[in-house]
Amino acid sequence: MSLPPTLSLCFRISPTRASSPQLSSRDRSLPPLRGGENKPMNEHVTVATPAPATPSCARAPMGLLMELTHRCPLQCPYCSNPLEMDKPNIELSTAEWQDVLRQAAELGILQIHLSGGEPTARRDLEEIVKTAAEAGLYSNLITAGVLLTRERLQKLAENGLDHVQLSIQDADAENADRIAAYKGGLLKKREVGAWVKELGLPLTVNAPLHRQNIENLPKIIDLALELGAGRLEVAHIQYYAWALKNRAALMPTRAQFMRTVEIVEEARERLKGILVFDFVVPDYYAKYPKPCMGGWGSGIMNITPSGKVLPCHAAESLPGLEFDNVKTRRLADIWLNGPAFQKFRGTDWMKEPCRSCDRREIDFGGCRCQAFALTGDATNTDPACSLSSLHAEWVKVADIESAKPAPEFVYRRIGGDKPKRETA
């Protein structure tokens, strides 16, 4: 599939909040941002349905990930923020974010995901949520929860917040504190979960999984049920950015991973109609790579705190890409014609074995950022793919590192690698 340099939108989706069956007022649970269909996991790969080729137009993105800030009180060793984070003094203003939301609705975007860092560190979050509701956008707050109060959450709900996604580090309080380097975090998250339930908001629990909490997966599932979550994302760590620094401390063994497959499959069947599971596998144990954001520049846009618009969360790690900013270019124009979005959109950029592969419009050759980080060339096949010449070496790394004792975490904070303890 090849897309021409200048595109137009195939259609414009009406930005009505109930226009999508998934987002109706009766069932306000949020589809996952990355995908994670309810299906057997015997191949351990996220499957995407290939989109038909379109010669002269592009579909509007369904989702917009808004990184409101990179500020965060936690120090997680798998932090997904870029190595070079945006400072608070260059963050977009309230008015600029509000303009982004209105542009998103005009473009046909349906969902906005308010993320960070920790989005509740922004004092204007209520205003941003209100503008999203006024624009007809379905809003999802992705939060660690530790900065929230009940009063503030109620105000967010009153202003139109549709959904809360709450991250947890473990179901064991002591280990959760150790992982996040934040004392009392799990207790606070339990409080937030109770408030979400009281206010009638749908809740997704996000549980990043790794070798230092993986044995507690059954307890994590129980915790999600206790909190009243409608969806649980069991997300094995993806080893980009800061997580790559901690790969040896986080990588589970293959046996541990396979056990999580069994646990999730059993729980998915047992809790059918009660709890929806999204399961994200570690690339190192996958047969095929996951499609980057469902295909580069095809479904999701990402805006950094300073206003740069990215095709994927980690795209800034690729050298030579030019990223437009919402301060100087309209969102629709960036989506359709921005050079970063054009770079790996479609399939013409592919080399072998991707170019002739039957899966080229299913997984799109895998993650471009991972391909660059591990091979030095963003156009190479993602080593997560079994067809990559580097796949065997890639798997060997996981086997070796997971078999050794876990080293100490390198925590995500400015000024050193030892945790600074804070009180919730």
Query: In the chain, where are the structural domains located?
Result: 62-287+386-424, 294-385
Q: What is the pLDDT of residue 55?
A: 37
Residue 13: pLDDT above 80?
no
Rounded mean pLDDT of 297-314? 93
pLDDT in tens, 198-208: 999 999 999 99
CA distances from 30 to 21, 50, 206, 231, 299 (A): 11, 22, 13, 9, 16
Task: Please tell me the distance from the alpha carbon of residue 212 to that of residue 405, in angstroms, as a whole number.
Answer: 11
Amino acid at 50: P
Residue 249: pLDDT above 70?
yes
Residue with tokens 């939060």: 143
Query: In whole angstroms, how large is the CA radius of gyration of the chain?
Result: 20
- The more confident residue out of 294 and 227 is 227
The domain made up of 62-287+386-424 has a fold known as TIM Barrel (3.20.20)
**What contacts 382, CB < 8 A, 6 or more positions away?**
283, 289, 365, 366, 367, 368, 370, 371, 388
Task: Please tell me the distance from the alpha carbon of residue 61 to that of residue 299, in angstroms, as a whole number.
Answer: 4
Residue 27: pLDDT above 60?
no
Residue 417: pLDDT above 70?
no
Task: Please tell me the distance from the alpha carbon of residue 24 to that of residue 202, in angstroms, as a whole number.
Answer: 12
Q: Which of 101, 98, 114 is nearest to 165 (CA)?
A: 114
Residue 127: pLDDT above 90?
yes
101 φ, ψ (degrees, to nearest 5): -65, -40
pLDDT in tens, 230-245: 999 999 998 888 999 9
Q: Give the predicted TM-score (pTM) of the model.
A: 0.86
Residue 10: pLDDT above 70?
no
Percent of the chain predicted with pLDDT > 90: 67
Percent of the chain predicted with pLDDT > 70: 84
Per-residue confidence at 414, pLDDT binned at 50, 70, 90? low
Residue 250: pLDDT above 80?
yes
Label residues 109-148 b or e (16+ Cβ within 10 Å = b): bbbbbbbbbbbbbbeebbebbbbbbebbbbbbbbbbbbbb
Residue 301: pLDDT above 80?
yes
Per-residue confidence at 332, pLDDT binned at 50, 70, 90? very high
Lowest mean pLDDT among 17-26, 34-43, 108-117, 338-347: 17-26
Rounded mean pLDDT of 322-328? 96
Residue 136: pLDDT above 50?
yes
pLDDT in tens, 157-181: 999 999 999 999 999 999 999 999 9
Task: Please tell me the distance from the alpha carbon of residue 415 to that of residue 327, in angstroms, as a whole number.
Answer: 31
Q: What is the pLDDT of residue 67?
A: 97
Q: What is the pLDDT of residue 152?
A: 98
